[in-house]
Structure 1
């Protein structure tokens, strides 16, 4: 039993070192209900800085009207002025997305979500793209 515990702690340590060494990765916590049902308040996400998003991807961006505030949204499409980002839950109280502030410029996009690591990994964050 002790050997198994040692191996598990070793693997966890190696994973932590790999994440810390990868300068292009960041951890972000989800707050609010705007991304329900796929993402819930308290979920923690791994975000890859500089990864080019595609429609359907979940991204982290700086709010265009409230500098310093990070938002988690889904990419709907690219416009000439930037990325059109939408909430999955359009009925969420306090929801803010491109319907409210327009396209988000490239300079405010912080990265693409590549994984949810806490508390419920396993469900897909990619949604089929629908034409409008």
Structure 2
């Protein structure tokens, strides 16, 4: 299994060199990124994209490499990325497992796709409300200053 992962990553690197970026879809299963991402949301990811502070990323869990998790890349540190979830009540992040090596970062999340409302909530108002918030970019724009303010709030909160 490890050999397959190495071969797969090698193919990703070759595609990057040729300018072919891979796009994929992933589903969120736990509440560690609430309110940004809820269980059931899907995210459009870009494999091999460069990561900047504030980006939402998909990565291999450092203690269970077969498990993919979604976190926010906060800052570069010795040994890799310091990542945290947006939900302060869930500590399954760098506060628990430390920095994450670069090679464990699988993809950068680009868009959030909210799941449609349940069958009991199919009113026109519910559908319009869902449509207005269903697709949103995930990463803050570096030029807007939102990254710096978000990081400072998160770092002060620890």
TM-score band by shorter chain is: 0.7 to 0.9
Superposition TM-score, scaled by structure 2 size = 0.63
Instruction: Give the structure 2 partner of residue 113 of structure 1.
Output: 109
Instruction: Give the structure 2 partner of residue 73 of structure 1.
Output: 71
CA distance in 2, matches of 1:96, 1:36: 13
Higher relative contact order (CA 8 A, sep 6+): 1
> Where do 5+ consecutive residues of structure 2 fail to align?
1-19, 116-133, 141-145
CA distance in 2, matches of 1:114, 1:76: 16
Task: Check the 8 A contact 2:21/2:48 in 1, yes or no.
Answer: no
Instruction: Give the structure 1 partner of residue 99 of structure 2.
Output: 103
Instruction: Give the structure 1 partner of residue 147 of structure 2.
Output: 128
CA distance in 1, matches of 2:33, 2:67: 16
Instruction: Give the structure 2 partner of residue 3 of structure 1.
Output: none
Q: 1:123 to 1:108 in 2, by over 3 A?
A: closer
Superposition TM-score, scaled by structure 1 size = 0.75
Instruction: Give the structure 2 partner of residue 16 of structure 1.
Output: none
